[in-house]
Amino acid sequence: MKIEYRPIQLPTDLDFLRKLYISTRWEEVAVLLDWTEQQKLNFLSEQFGFQHAHYMEQYRDADFMVIMQRETQIGRLYKDYRSDEIRIIDIALLPEYRGKGIGSQIMQGVLAEAKKKDLAVRIHVERNNPAMKLYDGLGFKKIGDTGVYYFMEWSSTG
């Protein structure tokens, strides 16, 4: 299954990125909030706006990529390159592409890039994120705990 990347195109990709963000938070909001569907959509859309603005401001030099399969947008991969690491700011796939090995393929590509450049890979992962198994399986180690997120690191030196 061939995966390609292209830089996000603003404002063209905003609707897709909003839809993707909503898909990653929908189950959580559906359980926690006794709101109408429209209220939940409005809330998540607003949250996406805050997150997007934060990322654009805090990570001005990062790679903000749309993950493509053929001509279809299926996710996003945001990476920030630092002197000693590749920081994964965000990685997300649409629901219909999760659990099919695509995330593993993407992460293996990031790890290969890091190994070639002799860099660590670091990421914040929510404790209840189903992808935690993937990160553990790829050799990421927990190096921090904020209560909500684990700060995880992969190093080519183990």
Tell me if residue 152 falls in helix, strand or coil.
strand
| pLDDT of amino acid 123 | 97
Residues of the chain with pLDDT under 70: 158
| pLDDT of amino acid 156 | 81
Nearest-angstrom CA–CA distance, 64 and 77: 6
* Beta-carbon contacts of residue 72 (< 8 Å; ≥ 6 apart): none
| pLDDT of amino acid 158 | 63
Whose tokens are 């080519």? That residue is 156
The pair of structure tokens assigned to 110 is: 């990031």
Question: Any idea of the CA torsion for 126, 127, 128, 133, to the nearest 10 degrees?
Answer: 100
- CATH assignment of 4-154? 3.40.630.30
Residue pair 150/109 in contact by the 8 Å Cβ criterion: no
What residues does each domain of the chain span?
Answer: 4-154
